[in-house]
Each structure stands twice: as structure tokens, then as C-alpha cells.
Structure 1
């Protein structure tokens, strides 16, 4: 058992964290579904609620990199319509997190991730034929789902991505709107997790600082590689890995 920098982490746990940090950076500036495998992998190593406290500061760092590249391309109209409903979803997630044990919490993360995977797979199959209606109910449902899944498992990315793609967002507007939306949501989650879940201690912030190089490498490669890869094949690989990791969380 090896202790590094005063943190009670094993060597293989550091490797998983570095990989998760890389995935987070890559997802923020490149392929958004890359966040998905990081969530259940970290949860399986560190526990359900603790894993959300570990990942959240890293997500915020990734958001900052994304804003650096795409900050001028946000569509604020859609963000403003979703935010009140998303806040409601966050509050529901906080309540669930308070009253369930870690085993159930990990199951909630797994279910959230798997639901998001089903949505991604469905929209992949529908392609350009997938359309969404313009209604208050749509904004309410999307916002609440984004808030709840973000709070429980930091897994709202696919829901928000499907929403923007279905509304016909082009690449830069898609990336900029996503960056600002999740930067706001993730900052909002910090006091909620500190005061209600008590899962972001000072050591977690220090840990995030150590992960910044891995997040930065992922973010840089996300910008560069996204233009050169077969994105559909990459999506399929990520979907498969994420599904296996999420299912693993459901196994006692």
C-alpha cells in the first residue's frame, strides 16, 4: 500500500484518476461522451457519493478549458430557459443523496449513466430524423433530468447533448453553449455538495490540482484530434466501455 503526497490512495487508484482526468479534459473540448466512462470507473474505486466530490472539481477545471476555446459561441436563450428547471433537478438529487446509502447511491449513478446511454443510442439510430417539440414541457423535462443526473452522477452530458443536437446546433454553438451551461451548473453544485453531502474536503481540491496536467492534455488533444477521428466509431467504443463500467456498479 503506497501513500502519495499524504493522500491515502493506492498506485492503481492514481492511474484510474489520471485516466478519468484525461477523459474529462477530452470530453470538454472534443467528444462529450468521453466523460461517461470516467463516472462509473471513479465510483467503483472510491464509492458513490465520494466519487462525485472527486470528479466535480475536475469537471470545473475542464469547463474552464472549454470556455477558453468556445466561450464566444453560447446560445444564452436556451441556457436561461433550462436553468430554473435544472436547479429543481439539482435539489431533487441532493435530497436523494442525503437519504440513500453508498450502495444505493452507486446504483443511482449506474442507472443514470445507463439511461443516458439509451438516449444516446436511440438518437444515434434516429440520426437526422430525431426531432424535439418546442414546448415548456420539453424545457422542464430536460432541465430536471439534467439537474438530477448531474447531481447524482455528473452524468447529464448526454441528455444536454441530445437536446442541443435535436435543436440543430452547429459545432461551435454546441460546444460554447455546453461549456457555459455546465460551468454554471457545476459551480452551483459545489456549495450543495459541501454543505449537504460533505464530500469535497480540502484534500479533494489538492487532488484536483494534481490532476490539472492530465485534464489539460485531454483538453488540448480534444481540440486537435476531434477533427481527425472517425467520431461514430469512437462513440461506439465509448458507449461499450461505459455500459460495462455502469453495469459493474450494479454488481454487489
Structure 2
């Protein structure tokens, strides 16, 4: 029995999933946040609950490729600040899922993304452009710690309830003053660690099993060309355009969640 028969999906539906997987690879190595479109495609083609389990290994495949490409540019002090807050956000997200329906989840996350995108644009317009480099300019001190904790909780919350933590963390890294390569390297390690940490929970909930992994094996092949194209594109995107694309992808994701 082939993968398409196993999931009762048509050729066009598999093509849509393959495109979404390609977009995951691109977003992980170029414009983080763009994979909110992938999330929507997976949820449209597959049952909503099952789609989260199928998407997670595809995301991890993209994370591995991103880490391989940008591993030298990760900023570990920032990562260490974020992880405790992310863990708290995951707990909050778990409690939220106990009573919230799909509509409440989508509306809450969509509103959070749009609000944070607006705040990020406002902050970027008020601040001077940072100098080239990988080091952030706003992750130390009391204000930096508060910011990291706030975004960390929101990132953990959104990734737990809808695999939508990418835009939140993208906005944090932009607001902290990360340049392009530092942004990509730090986010690559962040999401690899967070997504791998979610695997046991997904297995326990029955979201990942042999059937889902069979589909993942087919879709992972499409992540690679997306990542290669993303790496090529990232080298040719200047900092200002990079920031605008990240914010635009976040806004699209937020609107998409509100309208679904």
C-alpha cells in the first residue's frame, strides 16, 4: 500500500503537501515565519489533529538542514535565556488546550501575531539601524531579560497549541537587534531543540506513528531543495528586505489564522 492510499489523499493533495514541505525548507534557511503557510496547507489536506503530527518531523528535517548551514552563527546566551520561559509557555499552552476549541486557538494566536508584528514595526522605526554582524544589541540587562521571558512564554504557548512558534520567535530576534546570519543560526538551534523536545509528547498523544512517519519519509525529500534554494536566496537578501519579509510573513500568518 503506498503512502497516498494509506492517507486517502489524491495526487493534487500530495502535491500540495510536497509544496508545503518545500516551503518549510525555504523558511528554515531564508525567511523564518513563512512556514505558517505550510501549517495551513497541512491542516487543509489532512485531519487537523493528525496534521500536527505529520508536520513535526518535516519541521525537524528543515531544522537539521538549517543547523548544518548556520551553526556557526548561533548566539547561545540568547538561547539559554529563552528556554526556561519557553517551557513555561508550553505548560500554559497545554492548560489552554484543555478548554479552548479550534476557533479560540486560531483567534488567540492570530491576534498575538498581529499585535507583536505591529509592536516590532514600531520599535524598528524608532531605533537606528544596527551595525553589520551576528551579535544582538539588546539581549543583556533587565529589559533584555524581561523581553526574552515574555517572548519565550508566547513562543512556547504558540508552538504547543498550533506549531506556530516561528513567527513569535522571529519577531523577538528582530526586536533584539539580530542581523541576518545571527538570526538564522540562533533560530535554527532554537527550533531544532524545541521541536525534538515535542516528539515524545506527540508520540504519546498518538499524533506520530508508523503511518505518519511513512508520509514524512516521502515529504522530507522535498524539504531539501527548499533549503538549498533558501540558502541561495538568503545570501542575496539584504538586511532591510530580510526584516520586511519576516514581518510580512508573520502578518500573513496572523491574518490567515484569524480568517480560517
TM-score, with length taken from structure 1 = 0.84
Shift of 1:122: 3.7
Q: Does 1:19 align with 2:27?
A: no
In structure 2, which of residues 116, 121, 124 is the aligned counterpart of residue 119 of structure 1?
Answer: 116
Cross-structure match for 2:168: 159
Residue 40 of structure 1 contacts residue 109 of structure 1 at CA under 8 Å; is this kept in 2? no
SS for the counterpart of 2:143 is: coil
Q: Quick one: structure 1 residues 3 and 30, their matched pair in 2 at CA, closer, same or farther if it must change by over 3 Å?
A: closer
Using the alignment, how far apart are the partners of 2:214 and 2:107 within structure 1? 27
User: What's the offset of the Cα at 1:240?
Assistant: 6.4
Superposed counterparts of 1:98-247, under 5 Å: 98-100=98-100, 104-105=101-102, 107-129=104-126, 134-195=143-204, 197-228=205-236, 231=242, 234=245, 238=249, 241-243=252-254, 245-247=256-258
The offset of 1:216, in angstroms, is: 0.7
- C-alpha contact (below 8 Å) 2:60/2:196 kept by paired residues: yes
Q: Which runs of 5+ in 2 are unaligned?
A: 128-137
Counterpart CA distance in 1 for 2:218 and 2:46 is 17
1:99 Cα offset (Å): 4.9
Paired residue secondary structure (1:34)? coil
Q: CA deviation at 1:232?
A: 6.6
Residue 94 of structure 1 aligns with which residue?
A: 94
* Corresponding residue pairs, total: 244
- Is contact 2:23-2:226 (8 Å) kept? yes
Question: Which deviates more, 141-150 or 116-125?
Answer: 116-125
